[in-house]
Structure formats: C-alpha cells, structure tokens
Amino acid sequence: MAAGHELEAGLSEEQWLFRQGDLVLGPLSGQKLVEKLYMGELTGATPVAPPGVRDFQRIDSIDGFQVHVARAAAKMRVDAEMRGVNERKRRKHAVLGGTLGVITLVLVGLAVWAGRQFAVHGPGGTEDEYADISVEMPTITLAQAPREDEDLIAYPTQGNPGRPPDKAPGPSAPKPTATPASAVAAKKPGPPRQGSVSSEPDGLDMGISFDQGAINKVVATNQRTLFRCFKEEAERRPGFAAKVPIEFVIGNDGRVNKLWVDHPQLKDGALHKCLLGELQRWPFRPYKGSLASVGLSFTVGKKG
C-alpha cells in the first residue's frame, strides 16, 4: 500500500459491503475499499455498510474514510490532467510529423526540379545562356533506308557512318511526265497517327505501332536538354553559327540507338557524343513493329 493510503486500524480490518447500481458486493476490508478509491473504482458517493446492517451510507460520510476520499479525488483530477497533457502532446507530434512529411515532399520536388534545371542548363545556368540556340518542330517518320532515286541522308553502317558516295555520272534516265502516286503520298504531311499502315513502293504493307503523340510529348519535354551540347560546341568554335539538323532512331525498347548530325563539321566528335548521351536518357515508351525516326533542326548562333 502506498504511503498515506493506510486506514485507521479499526476500519482497516472491518468488513464492508458496497453497492454498485443494483448490486451489493463484498464484503471487503476497509483497506481494500481505500485501495479501490485510489484506483478510481469507487468514489465518495459509493454506499457502504457493515454486513448485517440494512442502512447504507455514502463512504465520504464516514469518519476515517473522508481524508482518503479527498485524496483519491485529487489524484483522479491530476491523472485526468496528465492524460489531457499527453493527448495534446500526441496530437502536436502528429501534426508536426505531418508538417515534416509535407516539407519533405516539397524538398524532394524542388530537388527533382533543380536536377532537371541542372541537366538543361548546367551548373549556374540560366535561360539566357541559350538565347542563341533554338529548335524547330520535330518530324516523326518511319526509319528506313533511302531509295536509290532519292537524295536522302543515308543510314550509317558499322563500317561507314557517313553519307554514301555520290553516284558516278552516267546516262540520265528519261524523266517521267508525272510524279508517281507513292512519291506524292510520301510528300504530303499528315497528322500524327497510331496504329496506321503505310504502303511500301513494292506493294508490301508495313504496320506502324509507335505513338507519334507520345513521342512528340517526350521530345517537347526534353529537347532543351540538348541545348547544353550545342552551347559547349559553340564555345569550342568561337563565332560558330549554323543550322544543324539531327535525326535519331528510337529502338523498339524505347531507347535511342542511332544518331546522325547533318553538318559536315559535326558528324562525329564531342557534339555527337554529347547529343547521343542525352537522347539515350529520354523516356520513350517501348513499342513493336517499324522503327520511328525523329528529325530536329537546331539553329546555333546568329548568322550574319
């Protein structure tokens, strides 16, 4: 028994009945009644009486119990206040934890944004650094080797990454009086389509399963990441100003696997390596079927 909870010797050993609602419980010793008071199981209003006595009276009306009733009531108030304090602390910690979670999400978002800015502009870069670099709208076509009678950029092979040599002069074939229907169809630009079918000159159909809209979205979102490469090339070539078309092929795995830079001075080297490295980070979706080729045209510097 805790100090101060002891009852007078006469009451301590005396047996008592007590009521809870319609029930009469006990008998308990006076000391057990005091313990129940401090535990909050009984209050000063609890009716008690010795066994054999029909008239019950409130426990706080009996001398010897009164001091313990007062102390138990004070203890209950203190315990209730402590529970309130602890609950307020718990709520405060919950709010603080939620706030820290929100701050963490904001910081992560800022870090992602800063990383993207760094990828585009480099350390300390700003939009003004790329004022002399611009890009035109992309063109998306089927990746295919050029026909013999068309003047297109040749796709490089492992042995020769450049253009094929020009044809030796020879007797020219008579010019047709009308443009073939297939050539006319190839020249007409059409809206981006998914799941369409194109016809090859030999009559075979080639299914198109890449999503031009999705490719355009990735290009529009990421094309400025290439500006850093052109800026570095311009720094290596003071006064350099030119229009630099590029073309790249997206493999079926969604990764850029071929790149051509259509400028006689820039076909290979640091610019080509930088551009290919950036392009291979672009998140194109994997697809099946014919490969997609994307053309972009950059203007570097100011001519004249």
In this structure, are 134 and 28 located in the same domain? Answer: no
What is residue 237's predicted lDDT score, i.e. its pLDDT? 87
Q: How many domains does the chain divide into?
A: 2
In this structure, are 86 and 136 located in the same domain? Answer: no
In this structure, are 134 and 248 located in the same domain? Answer: yes
We report the CATH number of the domain holding residue 17 as 3.30.1490
On the question of pLDDT at 210 being above 90, the answer is no
| Domain membership of residue 48 as a residue range | 1-90
Position 165 in a domain: no
In this structure, are 73 and 131 located in the same domain? Answer: no
In this structure, are 140 and 207 located in the same domain? Answer: yes
Averaged over 223-251, what is the pLDDT?
A: 90
CA–CA distance, 42 with 24 (Å, rounded to integer): 13
pLDDT in tens, 39-69: 888 888 899 989 988 889 998 888 888 888 9
- Asked whether the beta carbons of 244 and 297 are under 8 A apart, the reply is yes
Between these two residues, 143 and 278, which has the higher pLDDT value? 278
| Nearest alpha carbon to residue 145 among 136, 134, 154 | 154
pTM: 0.41
In this structure, are 8 and 141 located in the same domain? Answer: no
Q: What percentage of the chain exceeds 70 in pLDDT? A: 68
pLDDT in tens, 118-136: 655 555 445 556 777 777 7
In this structure, are 51 and 132 located in the same domain? Answer: no
Position 106 in a domain: no
Between these two residues, 252 and 191, which has the higher pLDDT value? 252
What is residue 228's predicted lDDT score, i.e. its pLDDT? 92
Please classify residue 297 by burial: count the beta carbons closer than 10 Å to its beta carbon, then call 0-12 exposed, 13-18 middle and 19+ buried.
Answer: middle
pLDDT-based confidence at 207, cuts 50/70/90? Answer: low
The residue with tokens 């290919």 is 276
Averaged over 1-21, what is the pLDDT?
A: 72
Averaged over 202-212, what is the pLDDT?
A: 63
Last residue of a domain, one of 45, 74, 90: 90
| Nearest alpha carbon to residue 78 among 38, 125, 47, 107 | 38
Position 45 in a domain: yes
What is residue 4's predicted lDDT score, i.e. its pLDDT? 55
Position 108 in a domain: no
In this structure, are 83 and 132 located in the same domain? Answer: no
Alpha helices of the chain — where are they, by DSSP H? 9-13, 30-39, 66-121, 181-187, 212-222, 227-236, 270-279
Position 9 in a domain: yes
pLDDT-based confidence at 226, cuts 50/70/90? Answer: very high
The residue with tokens 């950036």 is 278
In this structure, are 69 and 136 located in the same domain? Answer: no
What is residue 303's predicted lDDT score, i.e. its pLDDT? 56
Last residue of a domain, one of 90, 118, 135: 90
Position 113 in a domain: no
Position 122 in a domain: no
Averaged over 214-218, what is the pLDDT?
A: 92
Position 141 in a domain: yes
In this structure, are 137 and 42 located in the same domain? Answer: no
In this structure, are 39 and 141 located in the same domain? Answer: no
In this structure, are 75 and 141 located in the same domain? Answer: no
